[in-house]
Structure 1
Amino acid sequence: MITMFRLLTTISLFLLSSLLYAQHPVGFYSKADLEYVKANLTGNALLQQSLASIKKETDPWLDKPVDVPMPKDAAGGYSHEKHKANYLLLFNSGILYSITGKQAYADLIARVLLQYAKLNPGLKNHPQATSTSPGRIFWQALNDANWLVYTSMAYDMAFNGIKKSDRDLITQGAFKPEVDFITQDLKPWFNLIHNHAVWATAAVGMVGIATDNDQYIKLALKGSSGNGSSGFYALMGQLFSPDGYYTEGPYYTRYALLPFMIFANALENKFPEQHLFQYRNAILEKAVNTALQHTNLDGMFFPMNDAIKDKDYTTSEMLMALNVATKAYGVKPAYLFVAKKQGKVLLGKGGVQLAKAMADPKAIPDWFPYTSIENTDGPTGKQGGLDILRLGKGQDQSSLIFKYTSHGLSHGHFDKLNLNLFDGGKEILQDYGSARFVGVEQKYGGRYLPENGKYAVQTIAHNTLVVDETSHFKGEEKIAENFAPVKRFSSLDQPNLLVASAMDTNATAGVRMDRSVYFLQMPNGQKLLIDLLKASSSSQHQYDLPFHYLGQFIHASFPYQSSKNSMTTLGKKNGYQYLWKEAEANVANTMVQFSFMNGKTFYSLSSMIHDSAKLFFARSGANDPDFNLRHDPVFVIRKNASNQTFVNVLEIHGQYDPVMETSSGGNASVQQIGLLQDNQEMTVANIMVNGQALLICESRNDLSKISQHQFEISGKKMEWVGPYALFYNGRKL
């Protein structure tokens, strides 16, 4: 294993002599990479198509002026979008100059960067800046770091085609003011352990490589203190778990991968002896593979934490990540599948390798090779985790996400032991994601909306337990960052029975939460999600368990009172004030059931009610005069108790044919739910499915894999080894 100390020490020695042997390009391309790309461009349709695409975007600007406007607008506005378009234009120009040698592309890069060399030294904080990390060219410094990453790569690629006097002006005027601003004015931000700092360190380091400035490279690698407590290697060491899970969640994995991969690639080009891509047992390879596993059938990233639901693996970040990962780790079937969906490749060595492999259609799998996976969280893997349980194959695959991670830094949500369900690519039990319209100037300049913190991050906006209408950790990030749930047990080995369980004792003071999910495919092919959630406390509490379902309400087994004339909110704070109460019911000692339809499939949620409970049908959108929130439904089970065990079963069933106007299998098969035992020793739930008994037996505290347990029902002993067992019709599953 390559350690951070060894890398930092050895690279420091190499930096002393690097300037003596400086050559360009060395950032995006190495000399060998570029030779490989040039040698393999002809005769491959995808490569020619990708080349033609960037030429089409770039060539019109070779003989006309490029506007470099005074920074003025927030995201979505003219100046913001123009500066973004400029750095992409320059990057593409750099690729074209490298491949074709045409001087006009280098001239374009020089011409535009010289304009920035005049603009940047006089810039103050952006007029639309609202955060503690304001930008100069853009409204936030994060976007300035984006600009530096791309423009420094362009400059490096065109280095030999720009005269020295212009290079000096660009280095001092375009780059230095931005680097000084990021590393000095925004020093605390630069030294964060956060995706923003990944971009910031990559930006400074890439400028250092492009301009042969070893001080910038040291700063990027070791942080401002110079001791490695921050900087690029600290970020690689602390943001990923040992198996590649990125602590801010899949959406931000996608975003952070680009600077991680780009700067790692540049360092590998400059210091090949260091074998950077093997750092932490090839952590970047694990990160890319994990990110791809954290997508739905349509390639969309699972929307955990502050996620936008419209981001998939065809984004520019994943295009870049795939290019570098292929170069570093080789061609893989999963990469080929994604590259085909992307419809183009980046014209780097990895992109060429992908295009060559894709020339054989048989090499590309029909479906992405999704598997059930268990990720740990935290740099040592001891801060909870994330399980993705997958049943079925191809378009019939269903995915259950069980989240027991750490908080996730500033983008985390208060959602300990949360679950989400996808079926056939459709979102069934949803996570709200974030309240934000990225790039839409009219919606608060593309920033996070006020409702993000007031609703989307709150516990009630998720599918997990809310105690006393108060979010986990009282909605305080600083407290939440100190704790993570603990895994109890899991099993992902059986294709038709997937199990995960975790416990939390910190989210709500004085309350222990245990949640176990059993995701199984019955012998007849039917899929069931069995959800056991146990809340334990020495005092009385109000327990709310929401299920944010997506679909059309079909039927409920219980009478309810609709809010026909006027509606009130479900509560007054902690996100409750954003939920309209559309209907409610009082129920006791029964099993309640409601069904909804999503697409052409029926879904039924069956819930055991012991003693009395209140049920609510609610919908987001209350107290939202600017219509910032989606109006999505939620079903809430409310219990008042000190100790409470929720047993819920969600079944996937039936089919609706709108063309033939027929439906089949529309009735739920769960007929009864009961608890046969529920104490400190074990919980035994009995679920009647199509007239047959399905028993879920779970040990409360003895979680040893070798412990023997037994339970007797109707004179018959059920025996098993380990923390849990399922029996159907008397037989162990």
Structure 2
Amino acid sequence: MNKIVTLIISLTLITSNYVNAQTHPCLTLTKKGIKEIKANLGKTPLYDKSFAEVKKVVDAEILKEIDVPIPKELAGGYSHEVHRKNYNTMEKAGLLYQITGDEKYAKYVKNILHKYADLYPTLGLHPAKNSYSRGKLFWQCLNDANWLVSVAQAYDCVYDYLGKSDRARIEKDLFVPFVNFLSIETPQFFNRIHNHSTWGCAGVGMIGLVMNNEDFVKRALYGTMDQTITADQHDNDGGLIKHPGQEKAGFLAQIDGLFSPDGLYSEGAYYHRYGAYPFLIFAASLQNTKPELKIFQYRDSLLIKSVYSLLDQTTSTGEFYPLNDAQKGMSIYNSSLISAVDIAYHFGKRDPSLLTIAALQNEVVLDESGMAVAKNIKNKIPLPNKSIIYKDGIDGKGGAIGILRSKSDLNLVFKSGTHGMGHGHFDQMSYSFYKNGKEVVQDYGMARFVNIEQKAGGVYLPENNTFAKQTIAHNTLVINQKTQYGGDSDEADKYSPKLNYYNFSNPEVQYISSRDSNAYQGVFQNRTLVLVDSKEFKNPFVLDVFNVNSETENTYDLPLYFMGHLMSISTKVTIPNQMQKLGKSDGYQHIWKEGDAKANEGNTNFSWLGDGVFYTYITATTGSDSILLGRSGASDPNFNLRRDPMFIVRKKTTGPTTFASVLEAHGSYSPVTEKAINSYSDISAVEVLVSNKDYTIIKLKTKENKNWLVALANQNEEKQHAIKVEGKDLSWNGPFKLLKF
């Protein structure tokens, strides 16, 4: 008898990977959660609204004939879009089945799963050869993983509805080979430290949880690093397949390798938004099925922290700052962010400030996290309009991203962190500037039209590498018309600027400073940005002090990508008779030279009108400096680039030099009244009084002949400082001081 029991136990252990012992649903929905949802349906307006909208879409879709086409096209093409619609509909139909109990939704999921089980064994690699890791249903494994994340949730919801024979057939012909393809057969996709792999791990892990297949779950959590990966192989996005020295893979390694301790995501907010969904949806699934892992407590609750870091990187209109590869216009209203907010609220500390975001989104997901938000939405509290610093790097020592905000809805965004891996841009110590949620000084973002078939199937365009990533495409210093780190992403990933200091305690005068000596060999750079929104001045402004030092002679270009129409410039501009390019490489080949001028001795002023507001840029120049006006779009036969204007200050010098400028927002213009109000700046002059290794002293003069000094300590920032300036004694404590003079 004991031998029989032992044999039964052994067989049970051997087959436990394939015999599901869990109750269903078990991922983002649970039996308890369904009970809670049903009890509150019709009583929670936000949930009810979201439920009605999803139900309307799905009810219309499931009346159509099921279409599971043979994969052919890139993103934006017919087969791609149909398969994408199918997995979205399956996921929602599964949720509706659990909420309503109506079998028509389960029947739809069952029928379409069988269709995919018919198709999948017949497929080889996708015919399009544009990806480093071709999928089967889609042109890249990434989209196959997207499909699996959604379909795992659908399968979980209809698991008990399906018969044993249905499940056996679907798992054998569809899910098992699907998982093996993503994880075992394409390790270059699955074992990366990258948002692609996050999706792969989430899909494999979630279907593993539904099937109670521990092998699949372990692959998801820890990767399959025993599989061969070609070192230093790059993908079509420019990212490394396997980073030098990488020893770990899988979901936990993704959390370890992609976030700083503050929750800042290395690839930038745009890709964080994309990766947030698989990170959080898989974490929620693990919390519901394997609470002993305490996944939401991992690394000091890092996944919850990451949601706050993502939300903080938005304008007052909810759009993300387009740092690194990023499509402009992406916002908190994206479905990934709706899910992220709901999950962070439900599994976090029930922070009522997150409810304010949810109220703006005006939508929740149809699982228990969405119900938790909807039930408590009345408890929302206002969001703080605060400046914030996010330390970068997996150890928090990779510089930082600084976001300075003021009472006039000014946002100054300073990028001084890590490069950002394959999606990073060579734009260290660059800034962008916003007023009322609108771009004033822009970051270009990426050269890509996502899911638009006419633009190369929606993939990255060649100009993303040749222009959008180059240093000249950003508001930071370019030396000798060359890109930082020689345009080498692997080299750039080794370094980051060092944060000198910052202080946001006084909302009227905020500042941040960092330095770098790696982006250009033999050149030291130090940039300090000051955001002033004070009653002491008529208008708010940004002071930019950029110190640079080299023992060799260099040409320095400092571009400003302004958004609006040029009003005036204080020097005579020569317009070329023929269209000319600014250079031959490093992004300069994509810039049309629209004009050049000799800079003024003292100051050169430039003003423009954008979104009904006037802006004036006043920069300290000498008669030997040059001014260039340019516009992107040269060497662009397919019109892949926007035609954006820029203003460039060029200095050619040896030794230390300082760029000092003020960008002032002032006045308004209404096309209705046709009145221009306060169309001229109040600050009339910017002068560098002192610039050496110890101190930089800048003098600001207003039209009312009031003088102000900005004193910066370049070394030993915390000590007491004393210096004589224009015959007067000046003293202050700390790294920075703004005072009347």
TM above 0.5, yes or no, is yes
- Aligned mates of 2:694, 2:342 — CA distance in 1: 53
Q: Which residue of 1 aligns with 2:663?
A: 650
Q: Which residue of 2 aligns with 1:245?
A: 264
Q: Secondary structure at the match of 2:160?
A: helix
Shift of 1:596: 0.4
1:439-478 aligned within 5 A: 439-478=451-490
Letter in 1 for 2:215: Q
- Aligned mates of 1:20, 1:154 — CA distance in 2: 16
Change (3 A) 1:391 1:568: same
Change (3 A) 1:398 1:165: same
1:10-25 aligned within 5 A: 21-25=21-25
1:383-462 aligned within 5 A: 383-392=398-407, 396-462=408-474
Does residue 341 (structure 1) correspond to residue 360 (structure 2)? The answer is: yes
- Aligned mates of 2:295, 2:267 — CA distance in 1: 23
TM-score by length of 2: 0.93
Change (3 A) 1:321 1:308: same
Letter in 1 for 2:491: I
1:164-243 aligned within 5 A: 164-225=164-225, 229-243=248-262
Does residue 121 (structure 1) correspond to residue 121 (structure 2)? The answer is: yes
Letter in 2 for 1:65: E
Q: Secondary structure at the match of 2:419?
A: coil
Letter in 1 for 2:173: G
Change (3 A) 1:79 1:306: same
Q: Which residue of 2 aligns with 1:84?
A: 84
Q: Which residue of 1 aligns with 2:131?
A: 131
Q: C-alpha offsets along residues 430-465 of structure 1, whole Å, 9 cap, x if unaligned? A: 011000000100100000011101100000000000
- Aligned mates of 2:62, 2:611 — CA distance in 1: 49
- Aligned mates of 2:129, 2:505 — CA distance in 1: 50
Q: Which residue of 1 aligns with 2:707?
A: 693
- Aligned mates of 1:561, 1:48 — CA distance in 2: 63
- Aligned mates of 1:588, 1:46 — CA distance in 2: 60
Shift of 1:17: 9.9
Q: Which residue of 1 aligns with 2:386?
A: 371
Letter in 1 for 2:258: L
Shift of 1:342: 2.0
Q: Which residue of 2 aligns with 1:491?
A: 503
328-337 vs 606-615, which moves further: 328-337
Q: Which residue of 2 aligns with 1:288?
A: 307
Q: Which residue of 2 aligns with 1:667?
A: 680
Does residue 69 (structure 1) correspond to residue 69 (structure 2)? The answer is: yes
RMSD of equivalent CA atoms: 1.8
- Aligned mates of 2:170, 2:647 — CA distance in 1: 59
Shift of 1:370: 3.1
Given that residues 22 and 212 in structure 1 are in contact (C-alpha distance below 8 angstroms), is that contact kept between their aligned partners in structure 2?
Answer: yes
Q: C-alpha offsets along residues 80-132 of structure 1, whole Å, 9 cap, x if unaligned? A: 00000000000001101111122221111111111111111221221123121
Q: Secondary structure at the match of 1:546?
A: strand
Shift of 1:525: 5.3
Change (3 A) 1:536 1:489: same
Q: C-alpha offsets along residues 191-229 of structure 1, whole Å, 9 cap, x if unaligned? A: 111111111111110110121111000011011138981
- Aligned mates of 1:19, 1:230 — CA distance in 2: 27
Letter in 2 for 1:634: M
Q: Which residue of 2 aligns with 1:93?
A: 93
Given that residues 406 and 483 in structure 1 are in contact (C-alpha distance below 8 angstroms), is that contact kept between their aligned partners in structure 2?
Answer: yes
Q: Which residue of 2 aligns with 1:598?
A: 610
Given that residues 410 and 435 in structure 2 are in contact (C-alpha distance below 8 angstroms), is that contact kept between their aligned partners in structure 1?
Answer: yes
1:578-727 aligned within 5 A: 578-642=590-654, 643-690=656-703, 691-703=705-717, 705=718, 707-727=719-739
- Aligned mates of 1:99, 1:20 — CA distance in 2: 23
Does residue 260 (structure 1) correspond to residue 272 (structure 2)? The answer is: no
Shift of 1:20: 7.2
- Aligned mates of 2:445, 2:87 — CA distance in 1: 29
- Aligned mates of 1:189, 1:434 — CA distance in 2: 23
- Aligned mates of 2:247, 2:558 — CA distance in 1: 44
Q: Secondary structure at the match of 1:543?
A: strand
- Aligned mates of 1:406, 1:579 — CA distance in 2: 27
Q: Secondary structure at the match of 1:282?
A: helix
Given that residues 681 and 701 in structure 1 are in contact (C-alpha distance below 8 angstroms), is that contact kept between their aligned partners in structure 2?
Answer: yes
Structure 2: gaps spanning 5 or more residues: 1-12, 227-245
TM-score by length of 1: 0.94
Letter in 1 for 2:493: E
Letter in 2 for 1:671: S
Shift of 1:136: 1.1
Given that residues 326 and 351 in structure 1 are in contact (C-alpha distance below 8 angstroms), is that contact kept between their aligned partners in structure 2?
Answer: no
Q: Secondary structure at the match of 2:159?
A: helix
Q: Secondary structure at the match of 1:118?
A: helix
Given that residues 228 and 234 in structure 1 are in contact (C-alpha distance below 8 angstroms), is that contact kept between their aligned partners in structure 2?
Answer: no
Shift of 1:49: 1.7
Given that residues 522 and 528 in structure 1 are in contact (C-alpha distance below 8 angstroms), is that contact kept between their aligned partners in structure 2?
Answer: no
- Aligned mates of 1:193, 1:243 — CA distance in 2: 18
